[in-house]
Amino acid sequence: MHILEQKIRDKSAKLGVIGLGYVGLPLAVLASKKGYTTYGLEQVQGKVDKVNAGENFLQDEFLEKHFSKGMVNATTDPRIISEADIVLVCVPTPVDKLYQPDLTPVRNAITTITKNLNPKKQTIVVVESTINPGVCEEVVEPLFKEAGFEIGKDYELSHCPERINPGDPKWNVSNIPRVVGSFTHKGTEQTVAFYENILDAPVRPMKSLREAEATKIMENSFRDINIAFVNELAKSFTALGIDVVDVIQGASTKPFAFMPHWPSCGVGGHCIPVDPYYLIERAKKSGFDHKFLKLAREINNSMPEYTVEILQDMLNDLKLPLNGTNVAVLGLAYKANVGDKRESPSYKIIEHLKKHKAQIHTFDPFLLKESTEKSLEDILSKSQAVIIATNHSLFTELTPETLEKHSVLAIVDGKNCLPKDIFEKSSLLYRGIGR
Ligand SMILES: NC(=O)c1ccc[n+]([C@@H]2O[C@H](COP(=O)([O-])OP(=O)(O)OC[C@H]3O[C@@H](n4cnc5c(N)ncnc54)[C@H](O)[C@@H]3O)[C@@H](O)[C@H]2O)c1
């Protein structure tokens, strides 16, 4: 057995995780819990301090249960890379304002590795960040080559896309199955051995890096396309006077070949509204036009504006202009019960409300610093209309009585998270998305 594989198996291999965010920190904690000495390289000093203090600053359930001080040695000093046998790259892969993929964080992280790599160690570098097919071969490997390192001799390069779903009570960093692709056979074996040692889930070796990269992009594009389909149905069924949620529930009684997806005021987060662009742009370079994916993105991007249009219709019925009306936007995070605002549709909704000169108030219990109001009571007392943009538990418990008490007249349930029948029986005007 190769010496590094032996070190992986007896857990004497040292681990370096670059980027201690939603992906990197739970992974570092998991590896530490499983017995590996784990270093974390993070560029933000505030995060380094919090990690070294054992603080669960991400409000993550897995971290809440398993993270404590001393598990991860965090630092801003890149020299820890020279100590590591395995380096996991967990940095962001965003798009810019024109939806162009921005690989700068990945490039920077790889450059940091090449400046500190000890070729004698034959370190395994694993990119966990979501990337389009081709990034490892076309962007990552050339950076190593430029720095004089030969793949398979001085280091190994693998991709093991992270599938974590923050806030998910069932699936977490340790129990989600993984796929692994590498440049060499040895790289695949070693990387699979490492993940098998830390996970309580199967690890599937893929035939190539490209296949592993494509797997993750396919998964997230699948979600984006299906969500776009139900968002389109939400618009069409509204015109037809059909409740799309009831129909999805009906279709879900079919025990095969149907998987429910739900319409909403928009798709947010660092993955679903971002990753498809990586494939769209890379395929374009190879002469392929991803019409279907582009359309899905367009439909999902249209939902915040559609939500504001629904409110405008309702206010019309009340003979109120949106201009000057006090509107409460409940929720700034992109998903329930987390404080992550990346690509959140709430901000797009706010932009559209601004265009119409509405008086905007915002409240998110997980993002208080970002909120204009500091409590639900405060925001409701100031508002004539409400848009639920995030289905935080606090908002799903709202009753017509609470809203009526505060003289709210209309509510748009952007997440279809309230009991429609009860709201429709009240004095309030209620509309969901597609219902
Ligand atoms: N958040 C998710 O739910 C999720 C799920 C699956 C996959 N992913 C993918 O994982 C990757 C990371 O996402 P995330 O949500 O953890 O991002 P994040 O922003 O929460 O964390 C990334 C961290 O990397 C740090 N960083 C960036 N460049 C660095 C560098 N050169 N050196 C040291 N630190 C650096 C940032 O400061 C940040 O703390 C992305 O590609 C994302 O698409 C995310």
Show the 3-state SS of 103-172: CHHHHHHHHHHHHHCCHHHCEEEEECCCCCCCHHHHHHHHHHHHCCCCECCCEEEEECCCCCCCCCCCCC
382 CA distance to ligand 1 centroid (A)?
Answer: 37
CATH number listed for the domain at residues 3-208: 3.40.50.720
Mean pLDDT computed over every residue of the chain:
97
Residue nearest to atom 27 of ligand 1 (CA): 91
The torsion angles phi and psi of 216, rounded to 5 degrees, stand at -65, -40
Best of 17, 20, 23, 143 for a ligand 1 pocket test (most atoms within 8 Å of beta carbon): 23
Best of 55, 91, 340 for a ligand 1 pocket test (most atoms within 8 Å of beta carbon): 91
Q: Taking the CA atoms of 90, 96, 100 and 104 in sequence, report the sign of the dihedral they define.
A: negative
Rounded CA gap, 59 and 74, in Å? 18
Same fold, 3-208 and 302-432: yes
- Going by pLDDT thresholds of 50, 70 and 90, the confidence category of residue 83 is very high
Tally the C-alpha atoms within 13 A of residue 435's C-alpha that lie toward its C-beta: 25
Q: What is the mean pLDDT of residues 30-39?
A: 98
Q: Which residues contact 167 (CB under 8 A, 6 or more apart)?
A: 61, 335, 336, 337, 338
The top-level CATH class assigned to 302-432 is alpha beta
To the nearest whole percent, how much of the chain has pLDDT over 70?
A: 100
**pLDDT surpasses 90 at 169:** no
The tens digit of pLDDT for each residue in 332-358 reads 999 999 999 999 999 999 999 999 999
10 CA distance to ligand 1 centroid (A)?
Answer: 29
Active site residues: 271
Q: What is the pTM of this model?
A: 0.95
- Going by pLDDT thresholds of 50, 70 and 90, the confidence category of residue 121 is very high
The torsion angles phi and psi of 349, rounded to 5 degrees, stand at -60, -45
Helix, strand, or coil (residue 45): helix
Structural domain boundaries in the chain? 3-208, 302-432
